[in-house]
Amino acid sequence: MGILNATPDSFYGASRYSNADAVRAATDKMTGQGADIIDVGAYSTRPGAGNISVDEELRRLDLALECVRKVNSDIPVSIDTFRAEVARKAVREMGADIVNDVSGGDLDSAMFDTIAELNVPYVLMHMRGTPDTMLQQTDYSDVSSQVLSNLQEKVVRLSNMGVADIIVDPGFGFAKNLEQNYELLRNLHLFNILDRPLLVGMSRKSMIFRAIDKTPEDALEGTVAANTIAVLNGASVLRVHDVGAATDAINIIEHTYPSFISCK
């Protein structure tokens, strides 16, 4: 899953695409390097990012999705939003295929009903609080079991509402400190009990660059290492800025362990 940020303030500067030419070039590059899904975000969820209106989020998404479709009309497009209204319009009016909700339905009480109505795949991520407060909400007695329990409860709720295509995401970097992120990574295999595709998003995040004492711009090698560990522990979707590097890592894993199912 290649990341395409239609924002001016995402944490990794090279992932920001603010005009049509840049979006088209990024789409062409990522699909050429092996992306199976393009994830388009128009609202930055990094701590301290500014709030934007629904209308502005939709405006950014509309431009980006139109450009993506002009480059590749067949690739599935995910939209990264926690707002039910944005999800509905992006799917119905802009042709989005997947909804990727960093809040797991917590920031908009209408989201689960909207997903059931739209009948599209839903990425259910774990987070506490809001992007501005999440880093103060890391008080877990057992982060792996508590995140798993939270996701399991929501999977049951969504399933009872008729939502069949649920992808789970433990939410690396969202309401977890450095040690908790790596505890989750070590215990990622536990999430296989949910019997759902498992998405991980660690690309160039602080859990990577802080661990190796670098910046997001210099965290590619650390990202590849973490993603390799994730795949070996059951991840089936890698959300990444650097599609080519992720594709190479997956190919090496598949040559080493031919029984592994490909990541996306």
Q: Mind telling me the catalytic residues? A: 205, 239
Q: Which residue has the tokens 């309401």?
A: 175
Cα–Cα distance measured from residue 119 to residue 114, given in angstroms and rounded to the nearest whole number: 8
Which token pair is 115?
A: 């997903």
Handedness of CA 127, 129, 132, 136 (dihedral sign): negative
Residue 27: CB atoms within 10 A of its CB come to: 25
DSSP state of 145: H
Structure tokens at 75: 């690739």
Q: What is the dihedral of CA 183, 227, 3, 193, to 10 degrees?
A: -60
Find residue 101's DSSP bridge partners. Answer: 124
Give the Cβ contact number of residue 72 at 10 Å: 17
Q: What are the phi and psi torsion angles at 178 (to 5°)?
A: -60, -50
Amino acid at 194: L
